[in-house]
Structure 1
Amino acid sequence: MNQCTAVALLPPPDHLLALAAPGHRPEAGHVLCELGGDHDGRHAAMLWDEGGRPGSAVWVRWKGSGLAQLTPLPWCSALDPRNEACELFTAHPSPHSWDITDPTHTAVTHHLTCQHPHLFPRSRDGSESGRAPGPDPA
């Protein structure tokens, strides 16, 4: 499933504005929803994690063009068959992160594969290895 393409403009918090040097006002930043494209309409993006403790990840949630809210949420406890954790919050309203594809990342990887095939070795079955471009590990 493709990732949701909703974007929100997140203004800098008031405490950052108060601490900013005169003439150097922090700028607003955009956040992209990290959920699958068919979710319930309430978008979410993880902003930071305070060390992996339950409820330590701070997410921004918004709906439509409404006001964004920061909220701490616990991590989803689901594991994929390779024992890798879901990168979303508990009770997220879409598939787990390993079933969500970022269409921009896919398009860029496809373009790079066509332009620089030597950077993307193919496996024996002819599929791409999925390795990011870069030097071979020594």
Structure 2
Amino acid sequence: MNKCTSVVFLSPTNHVVSLFAPVHRLEARHVLCELGEDHDDDHADMVWDEGGRPGSAVWARWNGQDVKLASLPWCPALTAEEDACGLFADHPSAHTWDVTDPTLEALRQELAKERPHRSPEFTEEGGE
């Protein structure tokens, strides 16, 4: 499944910036949805991992142009190889290992053409 393409400008108010200033440098920037394209809930992008609180991170959540920050625990799901999902608990859509960023995938394939020995998965012998 492809990654959602929603993007929004995060422009935190001065009081929000001052609240987080001792711990995180919160600046205005664009945030990109990290969820799979089929979700029907708010969009989401992780702003930072809260190192002081195990298992949680601060996420920007939006629907339209209204962006809110929320501290959410990590998704507990693991692959058979024990790789963790990089999204928050109870996220809509698929886990991160089932979501493909089409732009990054296109870049990987272009780079594989230049250096096929480094990317055998994209060569004729590798199945592509």
Q: What range describes the TM-score normalised by the shorter chain of this pair?
A: 0.7 to 0.9
Alignment of 1:42-121 (within 5 A): 42-51=42-51, 53-54=54-55, 56-64=56-64, 66-121=65-120
More helix by share: 2
Partner Cα separation in structure 1 for residue 38 and residue 115 of structure 2: 34
Query: Could you give the per-residue CA deviations for residues 68-96 of structure 1, whole angstroms, max 9, x where no partner exists?
Result: 00000011111111111111111101111
Let me know the Cα RMSD of the aligned residues: 2.6
Distance 2:3 2:86 in 1: 13
- 8 Å Cα contact 2:7-2:32 kept in structure 1: yes
Q: TM-score, normalised by structure 2?
A: 0.80
User: Structure 1 residue 41: deviation in Å?
Assistant: 4.3
Unaligned runs of 5+ in 2: 19-25
Counterpart residue type for residue 70 of structure 2: T
Q: Distance in 1 between matches of 2:13 and 2:118?
A: 42
The structure with the largest alpha-carbon Rg is: 1
Structure 1: gaps spanning 5 or more residues: 18-25, 129-138
Higher relative contact order (CA 8 A, sep 6+): 2
Moved segments of 4+, more than 3 Å: none
Q: CA 1:27–1:85 in 2, change beyond 3 Å: closer, same or farther?
A: closer
Distance apart, 1:104 and its partner CA? 0.9
- The separation in 1 between residues aligned to 2:121 and 2:89, in whole angstroms, is 36
Separation in structure 2 between the aligned mates of residue 50 and residue 88 of structure 1, nearest angstrom: 14
Q: What letter is aligned with 2:73? A: P
Identity of aligned residues (%): 51
TM-score (norm 1): 0.75
In structure 2, how many angstroms separate the alpha carbons of the residues matched to 1:27 and 1:73?
20
